[in-house]
């Protein structure tokens, strides 16, 4: 994704590092987190610590997402994907999901 982003917009070094950090944390969560924290998971205090750690990682992801959204906004708007168009499509999808429930 980072390489693809570089093809449509300039990626400053700070954002590149932010996205790389988020990717590394994502990979660790997906492949090793629970194995690495198996012992912590066995106690209440360990689970509390894990929860705080996961909340911190969530903040990392949110920050990277906000930076990414700001970086791609000009390119997506040039392609016709305005904030209004995205909101309209989101509402259509949400309504369909609600109807399917």
pTM of the model as a whole: 0.79
pLDDT tens for residues 49-95? 999 999 999 999 999 999 999 888 988 898 899 999 999 999 999 99
The number of beta carbons lying within 10 Å of the beta carbon of residue 64 is 20
Helix (H, G, I), strand (E, B) or coil at 40: helix
Q: Which stretches of the chain are DSSP H helices?
A: 2-8, 13-31, 33-36, 44-78, 83-100
pLDDT tens for residues 36-47? 999 999 999 999
């Amino acid at each position: 994704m980072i390489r693809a982003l570089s093809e449509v917009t300039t990626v400053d070094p700070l954002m590149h590092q932010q996205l790389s950090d988020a990717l590394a944390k994502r990979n660790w969560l997906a492949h090793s987190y629970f194995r690495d924290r198996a012992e912590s998971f066995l106690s209440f205090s360990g689970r509390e610590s894990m929860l705080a750690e996961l909340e911190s990682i969530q903040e990392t992801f949110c920050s990277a997402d906000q930076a990414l959204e700001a970086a791609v906004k000009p390119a997506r708007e040039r392609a016709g994907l305005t904030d209004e168009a995205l909101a309209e499509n989101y509402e259509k999808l949400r309504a369909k999901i609600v109807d399917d429930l």
